[in-house]
Amino acid sequence: MARRPLPRILSSGSASITRSREIARTAADSATDVLHPLITIIRGLRLLAVSGRQKWAATPKERRGPKLFLAAACVLAVALVPYGPILALITVMGAAAWKGRERTPVKTGPDEAESTRLRALYEALVPYFSVPDDPEPLFAHGGDWEKAFDGYTFDGDGRLSRLQVSYPAYFTDGEAAARSRIEQLLHTKSGRGREYRFAWDEEANRLVMTVPAPLSTSIAAQRFVTAPGETVLGFTDPDAVRRTVPVRDGDTTVDASPVVWRTGGRSTEPHLLAVGQPGSGTTTLIRSIAVQALQQGDVLVIDGSGTGEYGTLTGRTGVLAVESGLGGALATLEWAAHETERRLIFTNRARQGGHPVPEDVKRPLWILLDRPAVLGHLAAADGRTDPQELLQVPLRHGRAAGVTVVLADQFDALETLSETVRTHTRARVVLGPASREQITAVLGAEPNTTPPPEVPAGRGYARLGTGPVLRLQVPATPDPYDDATSDALRRAVLDVLPERPGASPQPASVPEGPADTATDAAADARDDADTAQVPVAVEAMAAESRPVEPPARAQAAIAEG
Ligand SMILES: Nc1ncnc2c1ncn2[C@@H]1O[C@H](COP(=O)(O)OP(=O)(O)OP(=O)(O)O)[C@@H](O)[C@H]1O
């Protein structure tokens, strides 16, 4: 059978398609040439619009009105001036042409310096991610780094800010030590002095290294939007927690991601331990917690370092005592132990009798103890009870009794902390410079970033119970009596503190003198009076059905005669 010729359109198809393509390309090129000025102007107009929108978004709300008014006045003036609109149009087109004259080149791969960096990183990883008998090694000296590095981003300084690495399945990514070696290496090779976060995806054999954005250090003490029983320890990365709260950060209000610690009857981590080097900000954390606690409850402060950094709290509504001497601290803690027991008895009685729990028993009581190790040392030298022993009842039973204990000490004092303190302080915070091992020892889990050698005060990590380790920046809550405290911060702290009963409000910018910061000697001199007031038999208290008088009030009563 004779073969039928192919239809003409198919036999000469490829030639005509090629010709059509050429015609289309030539037409597109000519159109681009002709339309080039128009394209430049449109690009410029787009850039002008974007920059205008950004400027408008960055303008504080209170300045938007005047700006809008100014713009409207300009438009009116232009409209009224002869040839105004046409001149304005020419100016805008000129500005757009100038702005759109250069096209930002699209980067399609790493430049030479970046390739060299990535290759060096790849070579450094070879010994860790290869074994001699791997027939197709992903990592091999002189190998193809592009196969192993699935993604990378460099910052403006040419340093890696994100790297995604695929590694062979036989790498022991389940071992903390093996992971830590890789993290250490990537950290060193990518540039020290920055914090790196490592996310290991064991299922996909993939590691993603990122440089987290710095946490804001300009959020100061303020009333945070929280529910009763919640305390904001500080702020963390936006992707680390689901919640945000509106906060004042400098002059603007932003949605920040808080580390919220829940206390009280339903809390699974009802007491907190904060640890840091000297000057890392643990006192500031306690002050920040005190300021928030005073909004709903009563506070006892025991300052083991005796430096008077809590003087600003003395005598304020809700502050039952601020003690810095050993005797005063012991008396206060003894009272707190009895008060915890009294609250337990009343809560039990109310529950058994089917009555509501009395208000004074429900009101949260906070025991804030800074540097217990110092007091423990003094107590041992003096043959007196270690304050930590008196904390046993509040720590063990405080949750049911609405009593919360917060302790802060330094790394070198960790060994002096009693077993009860270690067991019951399940909310943990580490502040300031610390090694990976130190952080792991306190939090019970490795930090999720490489701890940088230098951190701002109040920066660290928090872990609530068995939850994830979170980066933390404590809100700036300095001592308003400190000369180094700025006027704005002094005002911020004094604004959130309750008044002193009977005291006329003081102008926040005038530093108040430490009202009655007790020296150790003075505090010790008062001790006998305190101790005489405090130990009240629990049964007797229960029978009287009234709260025990706290030490500070007892002292006042004695002084008044
Ligand atoms: N979150 C923070 N924001 C801003 N500054 C802070 C913060 N925390 C602490 N600081 C500043 O750092 C300094 C030391 O803070 P702080 O006294 O709280 O540290 P510390 O750990 O208690 O040290 P020390 O035990 O030696 O007193 C103070 O000047 C304080 O104002």
* Residue with more model confidence, 343 or 44: 343
Residue closest via CA to ligand 1's atom 3 equals 476
Output the pTM of the full model.
0.73
280 annotated to bind ligand: yes
For residue range 157-197, what is the model confidence (pLDDT) as tens digits?
888 999 999 999 999 999 988 998 999 899 888 887 788 99
Burial class (CB in 10 A: 0-12, 13-18, 19+), 333: buried
Closest CA to 480 of 260, 296, 275, 316: 316
Any atom of ligand 1 within 6 Å of the Cβ of 476: yes
Q: Which of 122-131, 284-293, 511-520 has the lowest mean pLDDT?
A: 511-520
The confidence score (pLDDT) of residue 560 equals 42
Residue 514 scores a pLDDT above 60: no
Q: Which atom of ligand 1 is nearest to the CA of 309?
A: 17
How far is Cα 301 from Cα 367, in angstroms, rounded to an integer? 6
**Cα–Cα distance between 284 and 489 in angstroms, integer?**
12
Q: Which residues contact 233 (CB under 8 A, 6 or more apart)?
A: 258, 259, 260, 261, 272, 285, 288, 289, 427, 429, 462, 472, 474
Indicate if ligand 1 lies below 6 Å from the C-beta of 281.
yes
Minimum mean pLDDT range among 39-53, 213-227, 259-273:
39-53
Q: Which of these, 469, 3, 508, 13, lies nearest to 197 by C-alpha position?
A: 469
Helices 176-190 and 112-125 pack at an angle, to 10 degrees, of 150
Are 258 and 243 within 8 A, CB to CB?
Answer: yes
- pLDDT tens track for 13-31: 556 766 777 787 777 777 7
- The residue to mutate among 218, 233, 283, 292, having the most atoms of ligand 1 within 8 angstroms of its beta carbon, is 283
Instruction: Give the start-end residues of each E strand in 143-183.
Output: 149-154, 160-166
Cβ of 276 below 6 Å from ligand 1: yes
CATH superfamily of this structure's domain 230-498+514-560: P-loop containing nucleotide triphosphate hydrolases (3.40.50.300)
Q: What is the edge-to-edge ordering of all strands in the sheet holding 230-236?
A: 245-249, 252-262, 230-236, 470-473, 459-464, 427-431, 272-276, 403-410, 365-370, 298-303, 319-323
For strand 272-276 and strand 427-431, is the pairing parallel, antiparallel, or unpaired? Answer: parallel
Would you say residue 138 has pLDDT above 70?
A: yes
Q: Which of 553, 517, 526 is nearest to 311 (CA)?
A: 517
The DSSP element (H or E) to which 511 belongs, if any, is none
Q: Is the predicted pLDDT of residue 267 greater than 50, yes or no?
A: yes
- Of 348-362, 406-420, 498-512, the poorest mean pLDDT is in 498-512
**Does any ligand 1 atom lie closer than 6 A to the CB of residue 284?**
yes
pLDDT(315) > 60: yes
Judge contact between 407 and 369, C-beta under 8 A: yes
- Give the separation between CA 480 and CA 486, rounded to whole angstroms: 9
Longest dimension (CA), the chain: 131
pLDDT, average across residues 381-406: 95
| Integer Cα distance of 435 and 89 in angstroms | 62
| Pairing relationship of beta strands 149-154 and 160-166 according to DSSP bridges | antiparallel
More confident residue, 114 or 513: 114
pLDDT reported for residue 518: 38
Location of structure tokens 């198809």: 13
- Euclidean distance between CA atoms 352 and 484, whole angstroms: 54
Q: Which amino acid is at 450?
A: T
For the chain, the average pLDDT equals 85
CA distance 19 to 23: 6
CA of 280 to the centre of ligand 1 (A): 6
Alpha-carbon distance of 282 to 405, in angstroms, equals: 14
pLDDT for 211-260, tens place per residue? Answer: 999 899 999 999 999 999 999 999 999 999 999 999 999 889 999 999 99
pLDDT for residue 342: 95
Strand order in the sheet with 206-210: 149-154, 160-166, 206-210, 197-201
Share of the chain above pLDDT 70, in %: 85
pLDDT at 85: 87
Tell me if ipTM is over 0.85.
yes
* pLDDT score at 559: 45
**Separation of CA 490 and ligand 1 centre (Å):** 14
Residue 343 or 540, more confident: 343
C-alpha to C-alpha distance for 192 and 196, rounded to whole angstroms: 9
Would you say the C-alpha torsion 360, 299, 499, 326 has a positive or negative sign?
Answer: positive
Cα separation, 126 vs 120, whole angstroms = 10
Give me the pLDDT at residue 373, please: 95
Q: Which of 153, 163, 554 is nearest to 320 (CA)?
A: 554
Q: What is the mean pLDDT of residues 497-507?
A: 70
- Phi first, then psi, for residue 427 (nearest 5°) are -95, 125
- Look at ligand 1, atom 27, and give the residue with the nearest C-alpha: 279
| Burial class of residue 355 (count of CB atoms within 10 Å of its CB; 0-12, 13-18, 19+) | exposed
Question: pLDDT band for position 541 (50/70/90)?
Answer: very low
- The CB of 458 under 6 Å from ligand 1? The reply is yes
Residues 6+ apart with CB under 8 A from 55: none
Which protein residue has the closest C-alpha to ligand 1 atom 1?
458
- Which ligand 1 atom lies nearest to the CA of residue 473? 1
- Tally the C-alpha atoms within 13 A of residue 289's C-alpha that lie toward its C-beta: 33
Cα-to-centroid distance, 307 and ligand 1 (Å): 13
- pLDDT-derived band at 526, boundaries 50, 70, 90: very low
Residues of the chain with CATH 3.40.50.300: 230-498+514-560
Task: Please tell me the distance from the alpha carbon of residue 339 to that of residue 363, in angstroms, as a whole number.
Answer: 12
| Least-confidence region, from 131-140, 479-488, 511-520 | 511-520
Return the residue whose CA atom lies nearest to atom 16 of ligand 1: 281
Q: Which of 405-419, 432-446, 448-462, 520-534 has the lowest mean pLDDT?
A: 520-534
Higher pLDDT, 459 or 307: 459
